[in-house]
Amino acid sequence: MKLRLVDLFILLLFVSCEITPNYDPFDDRLNVSVDKIIANGCDTISAGCGYFNLTRKDGLLNPYYQIYQEDFDQVVAKGFDFIVDTVVVDEYEYDLRLFEWIPEYTMTFEEALEPYGYELQKTTDSSIVIINKEKLDTIELAKRISYLDTARVQICISYFNSPN
């Protein structure tokens, strides 16, 4: 009987070392099971320089866990991309002025942040500031534009949460 309790304790210790992913880009819990993230059907997207984002598509807000290819079993960061719009533009219009459309998406963006306790505080030419009044936390998010192909760009708001 004593041996079984010790075996059970060791098994529980190994199981509890990695937690189930909660897809909360704002918390600092990175000790998440990569196998469970992959089992949840996340897309694997290259983030460059040997990093990959395991992304869950949740409508416009897409939270991700980031891993490094040489240590594929460890989450090194997390964050999200909020897709504002996809537009057809020529190469001369590839700049942050495309964010002039952001007021149309304010309500949708705030609804996406609500489950995490954050709300929009202000927007600037280069960033968006959100606040969590309960945690007394203010975060500056990046505005980002990326080419999808030769005629379309995707306008995003990005957040990257790294322990370093």
Confidence of residue 12 (pLDDT cuts 50, 70, 90): very low
% of the chain with per-residue pLDDT over 70 = 80
* Mean pLDDT, residues 45-69 taken together: 88
Compute the half-sphere exposure of residue 121: CA atoms within 13 Å on the CB side of its CA. 15
Q: Report the pLDDT value the prediction gives residue 17, as an integer from 0 to 100.
A: 59
Confidence of residue 159 (pLDDT cuts 50, 70, 90): very high
Q: Quick check: 160 and 77 in contact, CB under 8 A? A: yes
For residue 16, what is the enclosing H or E element?
helix 2-16
Instruction: Give pTM, 2 decimals.
Output: 0.78
Q: Quick check: 123 and 102 in contact, CB under 8 A? A: yes
Amino acid making up residue 31? N
How is the chain split into domains, by residue range? 20-80, 82-161
First-to-final CA distance of the chain: 45
* Mean pLDDT, residues 53-70 taken together: 88
